[in-house]
Amino acid sequence: MTTENRSTARKPLAAAVLTGIAIIVLALIVLAYASPYLVLSRVRDAVHQRDAAMIDKYVDYPALRTSLKQQVTQWLSRRVQTQKLQHPLAALGALVGMAFVDPLVDAYATPDGVAALLAGLPPRGEPGEAPPPMSDQAMQQAQQAPQQQQTPPGPAPASPAAPPSEPRAKSSAGYRDRDTFALNYAQGADTPPYSVVFHRRGWFSWQIDAVEIPQ
């Protein structure tokens, strides 16, 4: 075989190799982009299955604890200042809540707390507050996305003992930048969203490490 023939034979092989490399690179890029959505889906599945070990895998608890403490402390501080101006005696409740920040943070920096955060149930700064357990039926219902809920075909009989339900927050999820992804809950257009924040760990892994509570 002449040199020219060998060169001609190598061209299809080189083209196939380059095509294969391009496909692999494209697949990696797509996987890297989709990775936070996959992680969010896995964490939600872990909540439904009450798999605390799986939830722990996707949470940076020290960072989440720091974020929770900062957010709740700022929120309560502003509440105290506002209530001092409007109702001095009412501010006592917020001041009491300030004393329970650490226990509240410890309660939410847990698999049950993460499940509540993902369900759009952030801490409210109340004394003795704790997230509902994952086994609670109310928590399981809260995990369902708003668009998955359907109106029953007929009017359901109202229970006189049941309190009126609050409007369910609308959820959305998306990138903020290359390394930051957030699950957002908003009650309305005029209400700042509450967010659970994920940050990238490597190319394909993400962890929950912060929350943003409307102040």
Q: Which residue ranges make up each domain of the chain?
A: 9-130+168-212
Would the pLDDT of 152 be above 80? no
Please tell me the predicted confidence (pLDDT) of residue 153. 40
Lowest mean pLDDT, pick from 4-8, 110-114, 121-125, 128-132: 4-8
> What's the pLDDT at 28?
86
* pLDDT top residue among 104 and 197: 197
173 or 102, which is more confident?
Answer: 173
Give residue 93's pLDDT: 56
- The stretch 146-169 carries a mean pLDDT of 43
Residue 136: pLDDT over 70: no
Query: In this structure, what token pair is assigned to residue 136?
Result: 């609670």
8 vs 32: which has the higher pLDDT:
32
* pLDDT at res. 84: 59
Q: Name the pTM for this structure.
A: 0.72
pLDDT level of residue 123 (50, 70, 90 thresholds):
confident
Asked if 40 contacts 198 with a C-beta cutoff of 8 angstroms, the reply is yes
55-67 pLDDT tens trace: 999 999 999 999 9
Query: Which range (40-44, 79-83, 179-183) has the least confidence?
Result: 79-83
128 pLDDT tier (thresholds 50, 70, 90) = confident
- Asked if 185 and 171 count as a contact pair (C-beta separation under 8 A), the reply is yes
Residue identified by tokens 């949470």 is 59
Q: Given this model, what pLDDT does residue 1 score?
A: 52
- pLDDT score of 189 more than 90: no
User: What is the torsional sign of CA 96, 102, 108, 111?
Assistant: negative
In degrees, rounded to 5, the angle at the alpha carbon of residue 62 between the alpha carbons of residues 194 and 184 is 15
